[in-house]
Chain A
Amino acid sequence: MHDKTLKQLADALAARQISSVELTGLYLDRIKRFDPQLNSFITVTESQALAQAAAADAARAAGKAVALTGVPIAHKDIFCTQGVKTSCASKMLDNFIAPYNATVVEKMNAAGLVMLGKTNMDEFAMGSSNESSFYGPVKNPWNTAFVPGGSSGGSAAAVAARLAPAATGTDTGGSIRQPASLCGITGLKPTYGRVSRWGMIAFASSLDQGGPMAQTAEDAALLLNVMAGFDPKDSTSTHIDVPDYTATLNDSIEGLRIGLPKEFFGEGLDADVEQCVRDAIREYEKLGAKVVEISLPNTHLSIPAYYVVAPAEASSNLSRFDGVRFGYRCNDPENLEALYKRSRGEGFGEEVKRRILIGTYALSAGYYDAYYLKAQKVRRLIKNDFDAAFANVDVIMGPTAPHAGFKLGEKAANPVALYLSDIYTIAVNMAGLPGLSLPAGQSNGLPVGLQIIGKHFAEARLLNVAHRFQQATDWHLQIPAAFA
């Protein structure tokens, strides 16, 4: 059963070939058996999951089942889950039981999905290797010496190893797409404002966006149907209608204009990765698409601008973790200042502290104009690049990451090298666009992802384009041998 897609599981449940309790038990068993090798879960909510599954079965018996009733899923530990530890993979929130549900979780619950547990991640979503977690690194199921990517590394590894049929993730600079690429799954970062941020612990509010991480584009479409939509509790969510993302999956892509940004195929791109991407593009040409070379001239500015904007917002967003109301508090602080300094000094990990310092500096009096304001202007330039490109193409394609992955510890001592590996994903967040990564080949036994970038709110088109590829290829069906 575990080799089935979310869609197939939903069909099996609907056909009563299996109950939700049985299916949930199967995945809980797999987590117990395999997760010690991967460390992809921070919390497994076994008893709640079985209770939710029983309720789903009852709903089905009563004729009240909907599309995904009874299907198990895992949530990145950045989404608040009522009554369940929500840690953001930080010591700071190791003791934090969320008193409410994120809108994404609430919608999943309402749609009858069963939560298996909370997945590991980089601390406060800051990282690209899942090595900054307080709960230890996640391993890549394809080769456990390698990182799974990050920050949604736990979700990606869990889905790749089929410890969960699908999971939620969040993406601030590539945190859904890059681990999806490294673990060989399909991950979608929707348009900024498409999915509610209520209850999603904020890293960089103007960039953060939740989205589905799944085996196939079709599964991602089913999940986005549940996740997307305006939320009165999130002022930055949009009022645009949510289409049925599964309805257009099989639309023809004959005549699709694919833009290939020359900046995505330059220095620093691994040769194997480039080959996989070019092969995938050829596959699209076979399906009737046309390739247009385009330019996104300000791509090289996206990382420096991102590392001003994101840490600036983070430095402010993470101020609430002060040891006063919830989360970690140091022992016996001698006064208020010590309470702050020690609680934060002891509660946050190195990468989080580094980014708070960068952000605090960038917003300081006398530096604001030179850094934050300048970065916002760069952001505008990046957006203009995409707007100009989309005047002539329907989607943009390229690699998701410059490499197929790297070993645990390889870049741990060099944060800048790690930052640079997000070169192809960050600009998409800066422009607020939707982006998707799907498996498109392998390099030395590690998956390689193809990134597809769309126009604002063109998620349906992205999923359609990805689905057509998956109808013609089988990279998305590969399961790492050790977990098959």
Chain B
Amino acid sequence: MQWEAVIGLEVHVQLSTQSKIFSGSANKFGAEPNTQASLIDLGMPGVLPVLNEDAVQKAIKFGLGINADIAPRSVFARKNYFYPDLPKGYQISQFELPVVGKGFIDITLDDGSTKRIGVTRAHLEEDAGKSLHEDFHGMSGIDLNRAGTPLLEIVSEPDMRSAEEAVAYLKAIHSIIRYLDISDGNMAEGSMRCDCNVSVRLKGEEKFGTRREVKNVNSFRFVEKAIKTEIQWQIDELESGRKIQQCTVLYDPAKNETRAMRSKEEANDYRYFPDPDLLPLEVSEDMINRVRAHLPELPAQKIERFMGELELSDYDARVLVADRAVADYFEQVVAESGAKPKMAANWVSVELLGALNKNDLSIEQSPVSATQLAGLIKRIVDNTISGKIAKQVFEELWASGGTADSIIDSKGLKQETDTGAIETIVDQVIASSPDQVAQYLAADEGKRKKLVGYFVGQIMKLSKGKANPQMVNDILARKLV
């Protein structure tokens, strides 16, 4: 049987506001437990929430970034349930009227094809605190630093059909929130979290199957694995003639399995109702326009510009644009080096990103700055060094810092461009390789191209790689007759 998966994602993004969504406490990760929890965050008797306008602006920014409608009037509602890390016994969220309405995100898959994923809505809400179950001798500790952190919950349409599409969508959201500078998107620290609604149906069937919700998956890799595992589990169940029961499940990365947490029957009745402590949120056309005016260039626009204005390939553009910091780095290298964008793109996406990946570093942690890399590329452009030597200089920059110029000087790596000096080496190589010369001269034009490589290699070896490759080629062509 041909099965088809149907996937929708709920992505929670912590907004990087200075203070919390309804209190003045600092909104920072990693402080000592309960040091960033005010009376409001503790849910003390008599306290009241006051909405942080910056959180609203960031939500609007996101809405504009995904071509969504911004609601002129939205309403905060209380979602009621009991849990020790939920101080008030309810979470302030948005239910019937969210601030961001329907929008969409275009994703690109590995094979280069694109697909449009619908976004149903995005709403503002407050995060809960954390329960700590270790180090309390059979009791639980509660850390309310996270309570009240502004969250934007982004709900997709069930438009994805594979784990790969889901990850591509998640990465697209990650890229957008980083471009918009509304969240650091750090999944390891929980700044971006994902619930995956997964169901399976026979291909061609229009009706959705019963879905299960995989809760709180916290990395791109786990999202992919969890969805794949869940899809396979559901297919196995269906093929064994069993029915899928609607429930929430947890993904266990250690065992690579999804386990049911609670069924639909056990689910809470959240008793949503409008929060009487907060007025409806009114967003004026004026406010939307003000946010729009400060909207940065978004990934899709940047890719277009890189391919058009900078003449990069589709692939290069996507690699560079995926992370805003990488794109910014690249543009700085182009501006400072004066090199052709293609050349700068190669250096950033191959050499730099390769080294960063190998060392598990982010672009922000790169030991080679954009200015340092631009300084190096400048010397390729002006023929001071060859591309090959440049790689050596890059390694030195990576390991010890400094500037390309200082390394080229101290290691004597400047390219040999003196015709006489290169001719001497060429003559030397020709003289010591009579067999190869004979072979070369006997060969036809096609074979000669291959055989000339031997001579170039020998010359470069003798010149310690410093001979200007173009000059070597010219002189060889002149002498091998």
Contact = CB atoms under 8 A, between A and B. Distances in A.
Interface of A: 79-80, 86, 88, 93, 96, 98-100, 102, 197-202, 204-206, 232-236, 312-313, 315-316, 318-322, 324-326, 336, 340, 360, 363-365, 368, 372
A interface SS class: loop
B140 to A, nearest CB: 8
B271 A364 contact: yes
Interface string B76-113: 00101010100111100000000000000000000000
A205 B49 CA distance: 12
A106 to B, nearest CB: 12
A363 B273 contact: yes
Interface in B39-62: 39, 42-51
A252 B86 CA distance: 55
Contact of A319 (B39, B47, B88): B88
A330 B271 CA distance: 26
20 contacts: A79-B46, A96-B45, A98-B45, A98-B46, A99-B39, A100-B44, A198-B47, A234-B48, A234-B50, A236-B278, A313-B273, A313-B276, A316-B78, A316-B80, A316-B89, A316-B90, A319-B82, A320-B87, A325-B87, A326-B44
Interface of B: 39, 42-51, 78, 80, 82, 84, 87-90, 142, 269, 271-273, 276-279
A172 to B, nearest CB: 12
B45 A325 contact: no
A312 B273 contact: yes
Contacts of B84: 322, 324, 336
A235 B278 contact: yes
Contacts, number: 101
A86 B45 CA distance: 9
A140 to B, nearest CB: 28
B46 A320 contact: no
Contact of A320 (B45, B51, B269): B45
9 closest A-B pairs (Cβ-Cβ)?
Answer: A319-B89, A206-B276, A363-B271, A205-B276, A199-B46, A320-B43, A201-B45, A80-B46, A201-B46
B109 to A, nearest CB: 39
Contact of B277 (A201, A205, A372): A205
A235 B273 contact: no
Contacts of A363: 80, 271-273
B269 A365 contact: yes
Q: Which one of B87, B273, B278 has the greatest number of beta carbons of chain A within 10 Å?
A: B273
B82 A322 contact: yes
A336 B139 CA distance: 10
Contact of A233 (B43, B48, B142, B278): B48
Nearest to A336: B84
B276 A320 contact: no
B43 A236 contact: no
A99 B46 contact: no
Given A200-B46, A235-B278, A365-B269, 15 more contacts: A86-B46, A93-B45, A98-B45, A100-B39, A198-B48, A201-B45, A204-B276, A232-B50, A233-B48, A313-B273, A315-B80, A321-B45, A325-B43, A325-B142, A360-B271
